[in-house]
């Protein structure tokens, strides 16, 4: 207790000495000391939408044991039908094998699950707009890309199942990956195979969605580190949060997807234009980053404007509801582990 009180005193003293420099970071100014000018905050019409809005979100949590990771992941699609209704869900619980880059790979499997659930929603509601939580441009983890082999990915591309998820479902390549953990394969080769298989499944599913349901899927992020619009140390989304008021949007340019190369899926994805917008859907709501493949500004303005009607407090309710439903808490994964008898195995960090 005494040591922790001393730590608090050190932090308080630091803040008292450095208050102005700390706060200056979130109040960006130019070289002359003037605040940033207000941006051109575009008008958002109160537009109607052609069909239901669907929100897709996923969650993953894990217990780390010595030499392995037990993972529970699920995802859900919620639509604006009779208020809000679940129209698709999927999930799995299993050990992540082989034990390597466990956090990044478990999130990749969650992304695969989200895409399968989204595919089900897109096929079930043909006139819907589907909102995905997070960033499309950051979908492919850099840590896995370092081990990616185009040749291995091309060999396995046709074995990826693109079936939508309608309940308990699994990755199409995870069975192959699990088999590798039982074989006597040189470590670096095994890692190349694992990374290639998992990334090619992600790419094939994304291609399936963007090719067959063009212009119906957008990604919405609550935060972003990108600063390409204002070229400031503070991120663009943070600048807009502080220097704009009310409902509105700004077009932030077009980016191209950069998937791992060497497959037909990656050839297709690398040609997809992703239009980037920042928008505030409610008068006092947060600024959101919107990444919309194939959605040029005029259509995007109407779609984003239409989202305001289903976004209390400035955030789409279907995404809020999906997040609330799928979140995997520590107690949830503990109960699943107990059902499997894993409470008899000691977690790796039990002593902390």
User: What mean pLDDT value characterizes the chain?
Assistant: 88
User: What is the pLDDT confidence band of residue 1, given thresholds at 50, 70 and 90?
Assistant: very low
Q: How many CB atoms lie within 10 A of CB 269?
A: 23
Lowest mean pLDDT among 114-118, 138-142, 160-164: 160-164
User: What is the pLDDT confidence band of residue 340, given thresholds at 50, 70 and 90?
Assistant: confident
Instruction: Quick: pLDDT tens for 175-215.
Output: 888 887 777 788 899 999 999 999 999 999 999 999 999 99
Instruction: Quick: pLDDT tens for 59-93.
Output: 999 988 877 889 999 999 999 998 889 999 999 99
- How many residues belong to the chain? 352
Q: Is the pLDDT of residue 39 over 80?
A: no
Q: Are 280 and 246 in contact (CB under 8 A)?
A: yes
Our CA angle for 135, 136, 137, nearest 5°, is: 95
Nearest Cα neighbor of 287 from 245, 233, 317 is 245
Output 167 or 242, whichever has higher pLDDT.
242
Q: Are 325 and 78 in contact (CB under 8 A)?
A: yes
| β-bridge mates for residue 76, sequence order | 57, 89
In a domain, 143, yes or no: yes
Task: Give the pLDDT mean for 3-25.
Answer: 75
Q: Is the pLDDT of residue 288 over 90?
A: yes
| Residue 31 pLDDT | 47
Structural domain for 156, as ranges: 53-344
In a domain, 202, yes or no: yes
Coil vs helix vs strand at 38: coil
| Residue 35 pLDDT | 58
Instruction: Give one DSSP letter per residue of 84-152, joined into a string.
Output: SEEEEEEEEEEEESS-SSHHHHHHHHHHHHHHHHHHHHHHH-TT-EEEEES-STT-S-HHHHTT--HHH
| Residue 350 pLDDT | 41
In a domain, 226, yes or no: yes
Q: How many CB atoms lie within 10 A of CB 187?
A: 9
| Residue 351 pLDDT | 35
For residue 57, give the CATH number of its domain.
Answer: 3.30.2170
| Residue 9 pLDDT | 79
Lowest mean pLDDT among 8-22, 211-225, 311-325: 8-22
In a domain, 61, yes or no: yes
Strand residue runs (E) in 210-320: 217-221, 248-256, 273-280, 287-293
Our CA angle for 4, 5, 10, nearest 5°, is: 95
Coil vs helix vs strand at 260: coil
Q: Which of 4-13, 30-39, 260-269 has the highest mean pLDDT?
A: 260-269
Task: Give the pLDDT mean for 31-60.
Answer: 81
| Residue 345 pLDDT | 55
In a domain, 81, yes or no: yes
For residues 82, 84, 85 and 87, what is the CA-based torsion angle, rounded to 10 degrees?
110
**Residues 6 or more apart in contact with residue 315 via CB below 8 angstroms:** 222, 281, 282, 285, 286, 288
Tell me how far apart the alpha carbons of residues 11 and 164 are, in angstroms, rounded to a whole number. Answer: 51
In a domain, 77, yes or no: yes
In a domain, 47, yes or no: no
Nearest Cα neighbor of 297 from 319, 273, 333 is 273
Q: Specify the DSSP element, H or E, that contains 54.
A: strand 53-65
| Residue 343 pLDDT | 65
Portion of the chain with pLDDT greater than 90, in percent: 64
Q: Are 223 and 237 in contact (CB under 8 A)?
A: yes
Q: Is the pLDDT of residue 226 over 60?
A: yes
Instruction: Quick: pLDDT tens for 240-254.
Output: 998 899 999 999 999
| Residue 251 pLDDT | 96
What angle, 0 to 180 degrees and rounded to 10, lies between the N-to-C axes of helices 187-212 and 174-181?
180
Q: Is the pLDDT of residue 98 over 60?
A: yes
User: What is the pLDDT confidence band of residue 171, given thresholds at 50, 70 and 90?
Assistant: confident
Tell me how far apart the alpha carbons of residues 175 and 205 are, in angstroms, rounded to a whole number. Answer: 17
What tokens were used for 64? 């780390």
Task: Give the pLDDT mean for 139-154.
Answer: 96
Q: Name the H helices within 167-292.
A: 174-181, 187-212, 236-243, 264-269
In a domain, 208, yes or no: yes
| Residue 36 pLDDT | 57
Whether the upstream peptide bond of residue 98 has omega within 30° of 0, thus cis, is: yes
Number of domains, the chain: 1
Identify the residue whose tokens are 């897709």: 56
Q: Is the pLDDT of residue 310 over 80?
A: yes
Instruction: Indicate the pTM of the whole model.
Output: 0.89
Separation of CA 136 from chain center: 7
């Amino acid at each position: 207790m005494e040591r922790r009180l001393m730590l608090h005193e050190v932090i308080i003293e630091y803040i008292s000495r450095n208050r102005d420099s700390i706060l200056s970071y979130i109040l960006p100014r130019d070289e002359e000391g003037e605040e940033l000018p207000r941006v051109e905050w575009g008008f958002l019409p109160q537009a109607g939408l052609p069909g239901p809005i669907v929100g897709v979100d996923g969650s993953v949590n894990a217990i780390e044991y010595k030499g392995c990771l037990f993972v529970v992941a699920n995802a859900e699609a919620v639509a604006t039908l009779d208020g809000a209704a679940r129209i698709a869900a999927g999930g799995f619980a299993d050990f992540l094998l082989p034990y390597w880059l466990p956090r990044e790979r478990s999130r990749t499997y969650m992304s695969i699950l989200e895409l399968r659930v989204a595919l089900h929603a897109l096929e079930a509601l043909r006139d819907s707009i589907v909102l995905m939580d997070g960033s499309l441009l950051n979908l492919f983890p850099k840590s896995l890309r370092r081990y990616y082999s185009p040749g291995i990915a091309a060999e396995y591309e046709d074995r990826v199942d693109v079936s939508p998820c309608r309940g308990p479902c699994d990755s199409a390549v995870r069975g192959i990956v699990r088999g590798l953990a039982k074989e006597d394969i040189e470590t670096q080769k095994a890692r190349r195979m694992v990374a290639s298989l998992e990334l090619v499944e992600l790419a094939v599913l994304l291609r399936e969605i963007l090719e067959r349901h063009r212009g119906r899927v957008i990604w919405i992020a609550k935060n972003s580190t990108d600063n390409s619009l204002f070229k400031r140390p503070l991120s663009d989304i943070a600048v807009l949060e502080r220097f704009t008021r009310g409902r509105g949007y700004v077009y932030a340019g077009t980016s191209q997807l950069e998937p791992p190369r060497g497959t037909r899926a990656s050839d297709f994805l690398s040609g997809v234009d992703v239009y980037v917008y920042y928008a505030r859907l409610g008068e006092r709501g947060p600024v959101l980053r919107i990444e919309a493949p194939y959605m040029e500004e005029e259509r995007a303005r109407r779609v984003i404007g239409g989202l305001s009607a289903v976004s209390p407090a400035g955030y789409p309710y279907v995404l809020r509801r999906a997040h609330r439903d799928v979140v995997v808490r520590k107690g949830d994964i503990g109960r699943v582990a107990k059902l499997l008898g894993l409470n008899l195995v000691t977690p790796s960090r039990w002593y902390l």
